[in-house]
Homo-oligomer: A and B are copies of this chain.
Amino acid sequence: MARLVEYKDMAPRAKAVVDGIAKARTIDPAAINNVWKALARHPDVMERFADEMRAAFAPGKLDPLTKELIYLAVSVANQCDYCIASHGAMARKKGMTEEMYEEFMAVVLAAQKGNKLVMAYRVPVDAAFEDQ
């Protein structure tokens, strides 16, 4: 298991990253979640990931909940327990209801099935899908 660094014990570079996240989420930096406490020992990776997350979740054409659902879909496909737990919580905070979650899971499971089907039956891509 990762050795976690509490906010008060973080080096300045790590603290700066957490400060940015805490401010954006309007939470106490000391309440930052474990992934950042683990990353605090790896400042290059930490800064790059924080930057990539900030850019990915910056306001844009897709609303915040849709982005969380995309993140969660990838995490379920990749079977990342931490990400499922943390981004499931995020999705709920951003408005995912139980009904939405049921629909989300229905699509994820249909996709899983579709993915394996077309591989198992070795389906060639339609010409119509090549021209985009």
What residues of chain A have their CB less than 8 Å away from a CB belonging to chain B? 1-4, 33-35, 38-39, 42, 44-45, 48-49, 52-53, 55-57, 60-62, 66-67, 69-71, 73-89, 92, 97, 99-126, 128-130, 132
Contact = CB atoms under 8 A, between A and B. Distances in A.
Q: This chain: how many copies in the complex? A: 6
Contact of A66 (B69, B80, B112): B69
B83 A120 contact: no
Given A35-B114, A57-B107, A113-B112, A125 B71 contact: no
A109 B91 CA distance: 18
A15 B59 CA distance: 27
Contact of A82 (B56, B89, B104, B118): B118
Contact of A109 (B104, B108, B116): B116
A74 to B, nearest CB: 4
A73 B77 contact: yes
A76 B92 CA distance: 24
Given A77-B78, A117-B45, A111 B83 contact: yes
Contact of A45 (B66, B85, B105): B105
Contact of A116 (B102, B103, B112): B112
